[in-house]
Structure 1
Amino acid sequence: MMKIGFIGGGNMAEAIITGMVKESFLPSEIYVSEIKKDRLSYLQNKFNINSAGEDFFETVELVILAVKSQVLFDLMEDIKDDINEKHLVVSIVAGIPSEKICKKLSTGHVIRAMPNTPSLIGKGVTVLCQSSDEISDERIAAVEKIFSSVGCYKWIEEDCFDAVSAISGSGPAYVYRFIEAMTDSAVALGVPRELAQSLVIDTIIGGSAMVKETGEHPRVLSDKVTSPGGTTIQGLQAMEKSGFSTAVDEGVKKAYGRSIDLSRGGE
């Protein structure tokens, strides 16, 4: 089995390792390099994985960069002489295009990945793109197995990455805010908060499942709920009058613009 090394042992690295261990990856094949000793000890004790030794790059074949974007370029400067054709580099670092990683590490074997926070509970969405068609099918399969262990994955072209960042990357926060707003409205109408939030969450789960499983357009499904002169049309019209769709559109575009800014950031 391919030996996998994480550089960085933060929350997302922990989420991925959790999924990997649950999905038949052997802890003995997983290595972590983490500068915080207490954090490293925690990961070792929790998963029975290996800490990175001096032979880290000689040992591992797949290197997962799981550090903050502001320290990535310093890290790559430190490891550039250790990366060679043996290694596949997978970056989960936000906002840094694979072209910059390839250039800094002098390799064409880079996969950029963007998992979102529901990966922490195995319900994540990860988008992937590869820097080169030269990456072997075996390595592609290994990456897919890693990210399927924390949810689902989608392969995309990298020029879509900033737009997708504003959807699946930032999207959980939009959902949380919608849940909060609907719950508060229900509480204002006299529904106990615990019940209100439970109803809102289950309604969102059910509605999302309907779109996914039926394959019907959301507008078609919405029409099936919306009776002439009924309550739903009144609610929808009030939301649109207050700018619901426009607010969502503007929010996504603003997040998209910020993602572009980060991608263009210098070293």
Structure 2
Amino acid sequence: MNAPVDQPPADRPTAGQAPVLEARGLVKRYGSVTAINGADFELRPAEVLAVIGDNGAGKSSLIKVLAGAVVPDSGQLLMSGEPVHFRNTRDARAHGIETVYQDLAVIPALDIASNVFLGREVRRKGLAGKLFRRLDMPEMRRQSSEHLADLKIGIKSVNQAVETLSGGQRQGVAVVRSAAFGRRVIIMDEPTAALGVRESGMVVDLIKQIRDRGIPVVLISHDMPHVFEVADRIHVHRLGQRAAVVRPGERSMSDVVALMTGATEPTEQERAGGS
């Protein structure tokens, strides 16, 4: 085994604790294609779990099941040990799972506050809100400003249209929205894709801040340096299954790539979900 190329993140008290989100034996078929083939998954409290795999490995389908976007054909999902059934993303969100998709799902022409509360708009009190459905924009702006400040995102005004922001700042708005409403789990799909070095670094810092607030993060990424910088554990997905779970401090990048491609076999402990 090669020597690790990066220092691992500080140890976190996750081993032995009940998983926040867990999957057992998931199966999903699309006609004759089996995208998920008896996959297991385990997200522990207050950790960043990176999910990596080659194109076609089934990791996207796995994440869509966790986010409620895809209903599996069989298998079981659990949250804090209790079985759950997600028929759609609304069910997953009701259980405190928020997802930041690669396309961000922001509306460029709307201001930041409107995007943060997209689909969860705060209405005015009394008849103005109930009868005329008028929005309480001052309250939405106040809360949005607080959320931006909490995550140390340097945007001067929540009145700005999202289309005026840089790519990293737009990603920040999407992250803020998820952090504001994701009580239990945040899933991030390729959050640094198409971003420059500086903006990617900002997003990595946001992921660390969310974890440090006690919310576990599922990070889907092809960027191995970012994975090794921020992940507490790495879930390696291959051929529709969990191939291994490793810690960055115990495996090098080349080791993990070899596990991902099948060039190296995992240990029994890694195959079973790691330490």
- Structure showing greater Rg: 1
TM-score normalised by the chain length of structure 2: 0.24
Task: Output the TM-score relative to the length of structure 1.
Answer: 0.25
- More relative contact order in 1 or in 2 (CA 8 Å, sep 6+)? 2
